[in-house]
Amino acid sequence: MDPLNSTQDVIRCTLCQDLVAPMYCEVCHTHLCKDCVEKHFSGSSIVHEVVPLKQYLTTLSNPKCRKHPTKQCELHCEQCDIPICAKCISSGKHSGHKQIDIFKSFEIKTEILQRDLQELEKSIYPKYKAIASNIPVQKADLSKNSRKLTTTIDKQGEVWHREIDTIITNMKSNVEEMESKHLPILNKQENEIARTISEITQTIAELKKLLNSKDVCLVSEYKSRIAEFRRMPPKLKVSLPNFRPQEIHTDQLIKQFGSLSALSFTTEEQDYSMPPQGAESSPPNRSLMDVPQVITAIDTGYGSLYVQKANLSKNSRKLTTTIDKQGEVWHREIDTIITNMKSNVEEMESKHLPILNKQENEIACTISEITQTIAELKKLLNSKDVCLVSEYKSRIAEFRRMPPKLKVSLPNFRPQEIHTDQLIKQFGSLSALSFTTEEQDYSMPPQGAESSPPNRSLMDVPQVITAIDTGYGSLYGVTCLNDKEVWTCGCFNNKMNLYNLQGELLKSIQTWSGNMPRDIAVTRSGGLVFTDYRVRTVNLVKNTKIQTVITLWRWTPLGVCSTSSGDLLIVMDNDDKDDSDSDDDVQTKVVRYSGSTEKQSIQYDDKGQPLYSPCGDKYISENRNLDICVSDSGARAVVVVNKAGKLRFTYTGPPSTTKGSFNPRGITTDSQGRILTADNYNHCIHILDQDGQFLRYIDNSDLQLPWGLCVDTRDNLFVAERDTGKVKKIQYLYM
């Protein structure tokens, strides 16, 4: 069979991919049309050998059949991908298979060889080398980061040891100060009583002398002091100070010490990141002890001043010893935390280093295979063995599958700021030394926030007490820091501003992302929490420093509130709406967090139906009975569940009204358990009892598009008006 006649009319120019290629470069194994020959020679140091394709093909010979060595192969079976001879065809094994000329197959395979070689050399091989070169860097970074973390943990440990030593020194100093300050009181009373006893002794002697005398003049001049002596000196009761070491809660101490994030490996095939831990707050409900313990016993009887003075000195020594022992326990606990954290760092490195080693070895093996394949391709291209070329099996698809790009998220250690006052409370409580007498009955009242008066009734006509002009173009968030200061946030504005009731700007905090905050709340300790919808984070502001507490994956935070137990309740929806034209796939739920740890998720009712709508604004508040109240503008309803997440009721407006459709926005609760929600488009506030019964409107205060709501400790209502940018303080309860 003439190889030229069988292939020339189907071979196209490799360069222009258009014209028939009557020429062939034996060096580059490239088919060329006449117009591209000159271009092929130009701009290259390679000595090309371009010959007519006819001439090149005449140098080829039909290969011998591997099954029938006496026969020559003139065809190539595409299904079996092997050269075949006439005897192979007559055997019937290739019946129905597509068969092409052996030289045409040779040319096709030659083109495949050339393309594979070029892609391997120019693209795939360099990419593998680049990936391989990055792994030693990642391994070095892992080791370097581990050493850095260990040093940082040690330094934080030194800071904590110094802080504990300071606490111990100060407490022992307080004990010494109490003794030195109160001992003179005992000395003074001891001296006064001794002087009185001396006077009584002298008076007794004088009375006996007078009774034995018969001097009428002296007896008549006697002035009785019995009334004076009847006035006993005040009975001095000494309440000796005591020190109660607190039980060490290691998990809380670790979170106060600092957070060590995990070492994670992610690839481009998956997008995965770990949630920040935050400090877990203490549980709200304190359970009963199995074995109650006697903390102290107060002896109310009179004791001699000498005994009291001795007890005071003895008690001071005992307290000092107890404080020292508690200090030793804390130092050991801190050392244990440091050791465990450093051990975790070492374990992470030793555990994850094999992952890098494994990928490094796999890539090195693949690079070796690619290098070998390139050499074999060059050998095949330089040969004229039609049989070997036609049997070539391309591995280019296999090599195109790049190994996953391993992204190493190195662990980090974030030392927590030491709050000495909290640390002292956890270390132990030192009560004061006090003296009391029977002439006065005095006890120090417990300190704490002033509670709201019970059973305060709704005013017939609520009154606007003050209006704060915030300057926001679109105001929608307000939350009370205390009774005199409020935080605010607005739309198209990345700043949260703190105002006093006189409208003076006290502080301004800008979000770290530059996005506007979606909602704000104040924690029990006075920290400001805000949600960032676009970057899916919940953040805490303390002293102008912003800390990301929670980072969400495929969920975006909406409303937020801080609970009585110190937890955070967050309303959130998922991201499916970004990929869909409908709300059918969008989900909404309420999640309770303790620090960065998810504790509870509330999404469906007992029938498996969603509690919340998939669209619209949503705000959240916890009631005094621990109900969770959500204003759902998408559903035009207020949805209330109990602490366990069971649906209690849904409020969609009063039974009868002349107003338009209910359109809730901000929501809050007061000390009486009443629920207040802003009805935006109806320019009013709805007040409900804790069971969802409508009580009344606040609609006489010239409210304009009310949005955010909060109440202070005295149950004054603060309303954020969206378009006016004003915060109105409204009294709606009788004092």
For the segment 702-718, the average pLDDT, to the nearest whole number, is 94
- Tens digit of pLDDT for each residue in 136-183? 888 888 788 888 888 888 888 888 788 888 877 887 787 777 777 777
Look at residue 290 in the predicted model and tell me its pLDDT. 59
Percent of residues, the chain, with pLDDT higher than 70:
81
Report whether pLDDT(297) > 80: no
Task: Say how far apart CA 391 and CA 66 lie, in whole Å.
Answer: 12
Report whether pLDDT(374) > 60: yes
Report whether pLDDT(9) > 80: no
Band (pLDDT 50/70/90 cuts) for residue 309 is: low
Report whether pLDDT(75) > 60: yes
Report whether pLDDT(641) > 90: yes
Ordered DSSP codes for 77-132? ETTTTEEE-HHHHHTTTTTT--EEEHHHHHHHHHHHHHHHHHHIIIIIHHHHHHHH
For the segment 541-554, the average pLDDT, to the nearest whole number, is 91
Across 67-76, 91-100, 327-336, 614-623, least confident range = 327-336
Look at residue 174 in the predicted model and tell me its pLDDT. 77
- Which of 363, 364, 377 minimizes the C-alpha distance to 120? 377
Report whether pLDDT(256) > 60: yes
The architecture in CATH of the region 3-109 reads 2-Layer Sandwich (3.30)
- Tens digit of pLDDT for each residue in 660-669? 899 999 999 9
Task: Say how far apart CA 37 and CA 65 lie, in whole Å.
Answer: 36
Report whether pLDDT(497) > 50: yes
Task: Say how far apart CA 290 and CA 295 lie, in whole Å.
Answer: 15
Highest mean pLDDT among 205-209, 220-224, 341-345, 443-447: 205-209
Report whether pLDDT(611) > 50: yes
Q: Are 716 and 465 in contact (CB under 8 A)?
A: yes
Across 235-239, 282-286, 352-356, 658-662, least confident range = 282-286
For the segment 676-689, the average pLDDT, to the nearest whole number, is 95
Task: Say how far apart CA 40 and CA 461 lie, in whole Å.
Answer: 95
Look at residue 517 in the predicted model and tell me its pLDDT. 96
Task: Say how far apart CA 369 and CA 375 lie, in whole Å.
Answer: 10
Buried/exposed 564-592: b ≥16 CB within 10 Å, e otherwise: ebbbbbbbbbbbebeeeeebeebbbbbbb
Extents of the domains making up the chain: 3-109, 118-281+302-430, 458-733
Look at residue 501 in the predicted model and tell me its pLDDT. 94
- Tens digit of pLDDT for each residue in 423-435? 667 666 555 555 5
- Tens digit of pLDDT for each residue in 379-424? 888 877 787 887 788 888 888 888 877 777 777 777 777 676 776 6
Amino acid letter at 157? Answer: G
Look at residue 134 in the predicted model and tell me its pLDDT. 85
Higher local confidence (pLDDT), 311 or 715: 715
How many residues does this entry show for the chain?
735
DSSP state of 487: E
Report whether pLDDT(446) > 50: no
- Which of 648, 638, 572 minimizes the C-alpha distance to 606? 648
The architecture in CATH of the region 458-733 reads 6 Propeller (2.120)
Look at residue 484 in the predicted model and tell me its pLDDT. 93
Mean pLDDT of the chain: 81
- Tens digit of pLDDT for each residue in 52-67? 877 777 667 778 888 8
Higher local confidence (pLDDT), 550 or 35: 550
Higher local confidence (pLDDT), 623 or 231: 623
Band (pLDDT 50/70/90 cuts) for residue 283 is: very low
Note whether 3-109 and 458-733 share their fold: no
The residue written with tokens 């007992």 in the block is: 606
Look at residue 265 in the predicted model and tell me its pLDDT. 59
Across 78-82, 224-228, 558-562, least confident range = 224-228
- Write the burial class of residue 228 (CB in 10 Å: 0-12 exposed, 13-18 middle, 19+ buried): exposed
